[in-house]
Homo-oligomer: A and B are copies of this chain.
Amino acid sequence: MSKMIKPDLSAPVDGRQSERALEIQRGTGRLLRRHGFVSLPEVTLKSGRRADLLAINTKGEIWIVEIKSSLADFRADKKWPDYWDFCDRLFFATNQETPEEIFPEEAGLIIADAHGAEIIRDVEQRKLAAARRKALTLRFAQIAASRLHAIHDPGVPTHIEPAKL
């Protein structure tokens, strides 16, 4: 009867993230909220890749924000267009120290610091297929609630991970 779910407890801080990336994550999370989106950091997708921020609004629209805290960070990622398979809009988020012109126009651009952020270039929406949107929404719900549960009840079984999409 039961399907085991293992919570993704990596959020929001893990050893791989630099301090700067965390600042961008925080500022961008606030920006998303202003735009009516709740967001979850570090969500592993069906492709195996991890979205830095997966965000969803009350209409069910889904955005992904990839955080790039330096030029090297951006250059290390050749496969970023793959995120388009999992969102309606894709953005990069960076800081003021990283040159804007390195970021391709096929994604939107957000400039953030630890306190807030701005969308400095929007990007046209590409509409997710209904089945993918449904699966992503369900996975978002599972991960958010399992992380919250682990905070409120550290005794909760932690071997459960929602199925990948």
The residue among A26, A35, A38 with the most chain B CB atoms within 10 A of its own CB is A38
The residue among A140, A142, A146, A163 with the most chain B CB atoms within 10 A of its own CB is A142
Pairwise interchain contact B58-A3, C-beta atoms closer than 8 A: yes
How many copies altogether? 2
- Mask, A20-39, CB within 8 Å of B = 1, is 00000010011001111011
| Cα A36 to Cα B157 with chains together (Å) | 11
Chain B contacts of A35 at CB under 8 A?
A: 1-2
Chain B contacts of A29 at CB under 8 A?
A: 149, 153, 156
| Cα A148 to Cα B142 with chains together (Å) | 12
- A-B CB contact pairs (8 Å), 22 listed: A1-B35, A1-B36, A5-B33, A5-B57, A5-B58, A11-B148, A11-B152, A29-B153, A29-B156, A30-B155, A33-B146, A33-B156, A33-B160, A36-B160, A38-B149, A39-B149, A56-B142, A58-B142, A58-B162, A141-B141, A148-B148, A151-B151
Pairwise interchain contact B156-A148, C-beta atoms closer than 8 A: no
